[in-house]
Amino acid sequence: DTEVTQTPKHLVMGMTNKKSLKCEQHMGHRAMYWYKQKAKKPPELMFVYSYEKLSINESVPSRFSPECPNSSLLNLHLHALQPEDSALYLCASSRGQLNQPQHFGDGTRLSIL
Amino acid sequence: DAKTTQPNSMESNEEEPVHLPCNHSTISGTDYIHWYRQLPSQGPEYVIHGLTSNVNNRMASLAIAEDRKSSTLILHRATLRDAAVYYCILQSIIQGAQKLVFGQGTRLTINP
């Protein structure tokens, strides 16, 4: 069982919809991450939050909007997505200190119609 | 970002050692080398990481070349459960946060 919980596991949405992906951890970790993984490709970093502040944005389009309401929760708000945004979205967390392992959730599989 | 290069696939037999190579010739002096693995329908799982010295843990060993331009992940006695995609990753620190850059990964097949 993973210690990072992502909901929903699957999401199908139209290009005009607004939806949110949710990630939760109760390990006391202070860094949280969003990754995007296309089929048969490695994960690619999107955003990093460190102590609830956005530290890294890998030039992600504004149709993806991250939010970190507290140290246990990470959201990814989606609006006006394109078909090429269909992918597995992975959340991870790690302790606040640097060079610590990341713990990944099993992801949300997103399909854009 | 510095990149890693791995073989696309490797095959080994159960209960034998496995050596998974990784090249990272453009690594910077402060980059850590991480290895994660990913089973089907799961998120990546941490395996091991190091900076300069060889590292051992309960899952594997990591051998780092003296010039740090390559490394090898060693599974001492492979089991069927070790079949996965293994990613060699360089970790840098950007604006005080950890950034992992995944390689393309090696798909490891274990034969019974």
Confidence category of residue A1, pLDDT binned at 50, 70, 90: very low
Strand partners, A15: none
Angle at Cα A107 formed by Cα A105 and Cα A32, nearest 5°? 50
Q: Is the pLDDT of residue A57 over 80?
A: yes
**Partner-chain contact A107 B95, CB within 8 Å:** no
pLDDT in tens, A76-109: 999 999 999 999 999 999 997 778 999 999 999 9
A83 in B contact zone (CB under 8 Å): no
Looking at residue A2, what is its pLDDT? Answer: 59
User: Which residues have C-beta within 8 Å of that of residue A103, sequence separation ≥ 6?
Assistant: A2, A3, A4, A25, A27, A29, A92, A93, A94, B46
- What does the DSSP 8-state code read for residue B5? B
pLDDT in tens, A66-80: 999 999 999 999 999
Strand partners, A106: none
**CA nearest A46 in B: which residue?**
B99
Ranges of residues in chain B with a pLDDT under 50 are none
- Residue B100, token pair as written in the block: 């992992």
> Which of B37, B42, B100 is most worth mutating to test chain A (most A CB atoms within 10 A of its CB)?
B100
**Partner-chain contact A42 B87, CB within 8 Å:** yes
Judged by DSSP in three states, B80 sits in: helix
Looking at residue B31, what is its pLDDT? Answer: 92
